[in-house]
């Protein structure tokens, strides 16, 4: 990493020739940027890895409590039968995979799973339905709205991923108490058509905007290992970095190749690529929660710690993700105890709390700004 790049982060008085800071340095010293260029992000991404991790760790400590990890649990409430052709997904009806289609679950089993997740320390409960969109599913959508209301009444953050949304559907989810909507961009705009053809990039951005306009926090990230290049990983971060509001959370998934899908033969994404992507996202999206998502179970404990050092501060934990393995609660509890980590409380992220209309004590808000910490 060049000295100019490093000191632009380490010292707020150092500014690039373009008169832009590469990252917010001290809380309140400069606004979070939304005018990043691809070249600026590429320079960060291409930095020597240890320098990049140090840079990202520094930014992380200026905006988050480095000892806290958000614990999230994901449940598949409607499995398989999706009409999309996402080439990584076992739930597509276009591929012959081990995943079999099933109807939308009733409310009771979902609430039981949410209570179990809460008892095990998860503070965000996420529900996924394998649909292209919600349109035409009035009874099913009404059932999901009930699930949202009931999980929210437990004091948990509640997230859904249901495919494409209209503004009216987003409004109803917000009124039911939805905290966040997950809709990943997956990869760069340029590489996207090689992964999915049944839904455009702009369709995805439209759903994100519908959720945002309704006052719902946005969860949007990508998948590594699709066959993309470094340029595409940079392009993904560029897309979310240019949004008028950065996503409140940015999931980083490592592809789990599923037999029967077009990407079944893809190799596991290298760990250094995962760390480099997380660290770059942390520098560019300083206030966003970065979630280590699918594929985490393939990482060793020390590999996971490297991801946390690079700026990741959320995980999925529990019995499984949508259709892929997850790290169990007891394993994660032991790991966190060993490394001195603890779970976030619900609505600890101030931006999420504000949008949800939740007031939290100052001593619970995530970030070191309240403690006057400006560096490692």
Residues 6 or more apart from 266 whose CB is under 8 A from it?
225, 226, 227, 255, 257
- Cα distance between residue 185 and residue 208, in whole Å: 9
Tokens of 20: 């832009």
3-state secondary structure of 285: coil
Catalytic option among 33, 72, 82, 143: 82
Annotated binding-site residue? 42 = no
Catalytic option among 276, 291, 296, 307: 291
- C-beta separation of 226 from 186 below 8 A: yes
The dihedral built from the CA positions of residue 328, 330, 336 and 339, taken in this order, carries a sign that is: negative
Q: Is 82 a catalytic residue?
A: yes
Catalytic option among 159, 204, 212, 276: 159
Tokens of 274: 């995962």
Catalytic option among 152, 204, 219, 307: 219
- C-beta separation of 41 from 236 below 8 A: no
Q: Is 291 a catalytic residue?
A: yes
The dihedral built from the CA positions of residue 56, 61, 67 and 70, taken in this order, carries a sign that is: negative
Annotated binding-site residue? 72 = no
The dihedral built from the CA positions of residue 248, 91, 278 and 187, taken in this order, carries a sign that is: negative
- C-beta separation of 8 from 283 below 8 A: no
- Cα distance between residue 70 and residue 60, in whole Å: 14
Q: Is 307 a catalytic residue?
A: no
Catalytic option among 89, 137, 152, 199: 89
Annotated binding-site residue? 86 = yes
Q: Is 159 a catalytic residue?
A: yes
CA angle 39, 309, 212 (to 5 degrees): 60
Annotated binding-site residue? 219 = yes
User: What does R_g of the chain's alpha carbons equal in angstroms?
Assistant: 20
Q: Is 72 a catalytic residue?
A: no
| Annotated binding-site members | 82, 86, 89, 126, 159, 219, 291
| Annotated binding-site members for [2Fe-2S] cluster | 126, 159, 219, 291
| Annotated binding-site members for [4Fe-4S] cluster | 82, 86, 89
Active site residues: 82, 86, 89, 126, 159, 219, 291
């Amino acid at each position: 990493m060049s000295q100019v790049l490093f000191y632009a982060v380490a010292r707020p008085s150092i500014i690039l020739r373009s008169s832009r800071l590469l990252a917010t340095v001290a809380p309140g010293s400069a606004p979070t940027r939304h005018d990043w260029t691809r070249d600026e992000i590429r320079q960060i991404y291409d930095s020597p890895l240890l320098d990049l991790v140090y840079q990202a760790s520094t930014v992380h400590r200026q905006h988050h409590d480095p000892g806290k990890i958000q614990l999230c649990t994901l449940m598949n409430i409607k499995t398989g039968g999706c009409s999309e052709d996402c080439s990584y997904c076992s739930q597509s009806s276009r591929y012959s995979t081990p995943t079999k289609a099933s109807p939308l679950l009733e409310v009771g089993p979902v609430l039981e799973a949410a209570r179990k997740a809460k008892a095990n320390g998860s503070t965000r409960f996420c529900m996924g339905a394998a649909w292209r969109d919600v349109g035409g599913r009035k009874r099913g959508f009404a059932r999901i709205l009930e699930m949202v209301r009931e999980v929210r009444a437990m004091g948990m953050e509640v997230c859904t991923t249901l495919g494409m949304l209209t503004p009216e559907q987003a409004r109803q989810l917000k009124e039911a108490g939805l905290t966040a909507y997950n809709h990943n961009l997956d990869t760069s705009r340029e590489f996207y058509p090689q992964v999915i053809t049944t839904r455009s990039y702009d369709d995805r951005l439209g759903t994100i905007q519908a959720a945002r306009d309704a006052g719902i926090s946005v969860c949007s990230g990508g998948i590594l290992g699709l066959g993309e290049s470094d340029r595409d990983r940079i392009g993904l971060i560029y897309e979310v970095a240019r949004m008028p509001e950065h996503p409140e959370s940015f999931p980083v998934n490592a592809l789990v190749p599923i037999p029967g899908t077009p990407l079944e033969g893809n190799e596991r994404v290298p760990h250094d690529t995962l760390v480099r992507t997380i660290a770059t996202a942390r520098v560019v999206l300083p206030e966003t929660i970065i979630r280590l998502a699918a594929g985490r179970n393939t990482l060793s404990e020390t590999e996971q710690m490297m991801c946390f050092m690079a700026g990741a501060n959320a995980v999925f934990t529990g019995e499984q993700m949508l259709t892929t393995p997850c790290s169990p609660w007891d394993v994660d509890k032991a790991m966190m105890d060993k490394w001195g980590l603890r779970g976030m409380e619900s609505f600890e992220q101030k931006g999420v709390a504000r949008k949800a209309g939740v007031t939290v004590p100052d001593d619970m808000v995530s970030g070191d700004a309240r403690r006057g910490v400006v560096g490692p």
